[in-house]
Amino acid sequence: MKIDNESVAFITGGAGGIGFAIAETLGSRGAKIMLADLDQSKLDEAAAMLSAKGVQVGTVVCDVADEQQMRAAAAATIDQFGKVHIVVNNAGVALGGVPGEIAMKDWRWIVDINLIGVAHGVEIFTPLIQSHGEGGYFINTASMAGHGAGPGMGPYHATKFAVVGYSEALKLELAPSNIGVSVLCPAWVKTNIHRSALDKPTGGSDESDPQFQAMATVIDGGLDPADVAEWTAQCVEADRLYIFTHPEFAGAIDQRYAMIKADYDACADFPAFQKKAEG
């Protein structure tokens, strides 16, 4: 998709981190930007920085887990800019824990933001993009955690795997409407996502906890969001489905799919399945 001064982009989680970096990058290509986030003061700061660079920008306070707030944010975007072409479903939170010890209200919190928030963006904005007939694009933020799992972060993996699968389906379903789809799958990026767990419904973690500090150290050594955003824009322009950012994780992906292939091949040795295939 071409990104230029005719483009209008709506970005959730847009006041900081990857969302703001994408706003800067799209804005540098001429796009008009509507930033959505939870905190008006942070939105004002972000908008001021974009305006200083000559970007046309609006802001709207919005909780992506709330359908009515998302519909109001979409209406505000149309009111200000007339139409929308690019939707960046970027807002997200992190949550880990031990199976059997994770409160269901915390599960619902992360699913509502990381998955239902993306679904709200797609369901609400798809008709708006289709209505002007100029085509458009969805960028859904997942993670490398949507392609491989490890212990301790089950809820996060569950939501990010879901966003990857959802985006794969959308790529096929929206192509006839000239709407492209990319799923952003970074590993470590210098953002504050690790701090989001402090806001989970059952109460925040202790920042002095060794696990929290270890995560903070890893994230602090991650990629600059500006580099992730520039690569994201280039992948959108190239119509890539998967936007990966860490070449060093290629071996982990190869290992995962080798395990899948081995277990898939194993089913061919089960007699009942052989007969079904022959029949």
Question: Which positions are annotated as active-site residues?
Answer: 156
Token code pair at residue 23: 């706003």
Scanning the chain, the segments in alpha helix (DSSP H) are: 17-28, 40-52, 67-81, 104-111, 117-132, 154-174, 210-220, 225-237, 250-266, 271-278
Query: Which three-class secondary structure state does DSSP give residue 87?
Result: strand
Contact (CB, 8 A) for 36 and 60: yes
The residue with tokens 């970096």 is: 21
Token code pair at residue 188: 């470590």
Amino acid at 90: N
Estimate the crossing angle of helix 67-81 against helix 117-132, to 10 degrees.
Answer: 30
Contacts of 205 (CB under 8 A, 6+ apart): 197, 198, 211, 212
Q: What gap in Å lies between CA 67 and CA 44, rounded to an integer?
A: 23
